[in-house]
Amino acid sequence: MIDLRERVAIVTGAGRGIGRAYARRLAAYGARVVVNDAGVATDGAPTDEDPAADVVAEIVGAGGEAVAHRGDVGDPAVGDALVARALDSWGRLDTVINNAGFGRPRMVFNLSDDEWDDVIRVHLRGTFVVSRPACAYWRAQAKQHGTTYGRLINTATGLLVYGGAGQSNYVAAKAGIQAFTEALATEMAPYGVTANTIMPGANTRLAQIGWRMARGGNEAGEAAGFDPRDPVHVGEFGAYLASPEAGWISGQTFQVRGGTVEHIETWSVRDTAHAEGRGFTADDYLREIPRLFGAGAKRADPPPPGWKAK
């Protein structure tokens, strides 16, 4: 049975959507949660909303423990503040879920400097900014006690699998997060800390600007009330990865949507050709590359039917 009663977690962007589901499911399994959210719109524009406070109220109302933190994860001071909030509140930190983010979808020929920078900043820099102090804390704990407990869970996107036309800034950031996470899995392994990536799929307000999980009622063979679009299913996977039982899993990427989980193959060598004691010439490649890659293989999927450039 998953038991997170001794655990303390930070979840960024936890005021809505998938982050809220992570926070609520971690709390349901007993974890105490720092609920971070900047309260911004889907394009990152500031609002008066404070959804982190609402989620804390939900968790506390259900008998759990949580504290709210309003702040922008792109700001390095916020990473330090989040770790400090966990330690000041409960004296420990076991799990960080970097989930905060927004989108500014546009074709590259129309993409502004700000649209590029803001999306890279919130996702890639935001993930770094919170991971750094968490990893520093875990390393210090391991040096003091011989080992530690640390679970870092970062967020990518299935667009890395399916193609990111119109979202080049977003997929660039998400690919960076995925690679960053694999590097941290290696860096933090000696300290007993795991680092994994989730590609989530759920019907949230952000999903409305990218893609839509259209669905009617329950389909044949499905349990009553099961909604594959519900972020709760991603939340359950986050709770599993945060658990002691998942300590053997690190450097991995999983796509989770509804009742489906997929182990994603990331960076690996598919086929190799050797020139045997010399270098290939460009003429050699006329033969070798089609053999390795497949003559006429398509290089990228076209956009889906009905898709319109912005």
Q: Which of 215, 231, 111, 238 is nearest to 172 (CA)?
A: 111
Per the residue annotation, which of 29, 149, 170, 191 is the catalytic one? 170
Query: 40: which residues sit within 8 A by CB, 6+ positions away?
Result: 46, 47, 72, 102
- Closer CB to ligand NAD, 86 or 142, in the complex: 86
- How deeply is 126 buried, as exposed, middle or buried, from its count of CB atoms within 10 A (0-12, 13-18, 19+)? buried
Token readout for 260 is: 């489906």
Q: Is the dihedral of CA 143, 245, 33, 122 positive or negative?
A: positive
Check: CB of residue 77 under 8 Å from CB of residue 85.
no
Instruction: Work out how close the CB of 142 gets to ligand NAD at its nearest, in angstroms, rounded to a whole number.
Output: 28
CB of residue 266 vs ligand NAD: minimum separation in angstroms? 16
What angle separates helix 126-145 from helix 76-90, to the nearest 10 degrees?
A: 40
Nearer to ligand NAD, 64 or 231 (CB): 231
Query: CB of residue 190 vs ligand NAD: minimum separation in angstroms?
Result: 28
Q: Which is nearer to ligand NAD, 192 or 210 (CB)?
A: 210
CB of 207 to ligand NAD, least distance (A): 4
Q: Which is nearer to ligand NAD, 2 or 209 (CB)?
A: 209
170 is a catalytic site residue: yes
Binding site residues, ligand NAD, CB under 6 A:
12-13, 15-19, 36-40, 42, 44, 51, 72-74, 99-102, 122, 126, 155, 157-158, 200-202, 204-207
Q: Name the residues annotated as catalytic.
A: 170
